[in-house]
Structure 1
């Protein structure tokens, strides 16, 4: 989206017509910006994917209560859990689990 530098109104686009190049124009003032045919990219910037932080850490699960829930990854029968209200109050809470098998430590959620 482009805005008029004079009055701040959203510029409208007009396609090439009868030899005239395409352009942006302001519907409220006389501002016109012609679009060049050969647009060059001045700078490319690589996007860096940020590391996703877990909702709950392993420190949060140290003193958490346990339940007999099978792990979907290793089928260990015990998991620590924490319950959080992640959506609106009229919807059920989300339960986060962490497998208590030392070699697995898989985390998943229910709800």
Structure 2
């Protein structure tokens, strides 16, 4: 979700305040909002409940890997496939 200014409707930008806190600021109006919550890197959580396929790990040559597809570029570009080795001692990540 993109944050917009409630006064002028322009896009809000992230800025570090003098106090060291992070806030959203409007470049047109004097409006700002302090950011009180931060996003947590989903890391391991993103790999729960994903399917596996026959894909050889480039690091350990294990024959299976978990995979997920995400749209990382514009809609007219193909999706990016991310892999994680099924060998838990390796767990190498790569993308196609």
Unmatched 5+ stretches in structure 1: 1-54
Whether 1:69 aligns to 2:55 is yes
Structure in which a larger fraction of residues adopt strand: 2
List per-residue Cα deviations over 1:7-49 (Å, max 9, x = no partner).
xxxxxxxxxxxxxxxxxxxxxxxxxxxxxxxxxxxxxxxxxxx
CA distance in 2, matches of 1:104, 1:95: 19
**Would the alpha carbon gap of residues 56 and 100 (structure 1) be closer, same or farther in structure 2, given more than 3 Å must change?**
farther
- Of the three residues 44, 49, 69, the one matched with 1:58 is 44
How many Å apart are 1:81 and its aligned residue?
Answer: 0.6
How many Å apart are 1:56 and its aligned residue?
Answer: 6.2
Normalising by structure 1, we get a TM-score of 0.47
Whether 1:97 aligns to 2:44 is no
CA distance in 2, matches of 1:57, 1:100: 16
Give the 5 Å matches for 1:1-111.
57-110=43-96
CA distance in 2, matches of 1:94, 1:57: 17
How many Å apart are 1:100 and its aligned residue?
Answer: 0.8
Structure showing greater radius of gyration is 1
Unmatched 5+ stretches in structure 2: 1-40
Moved over 4 A (4+): none
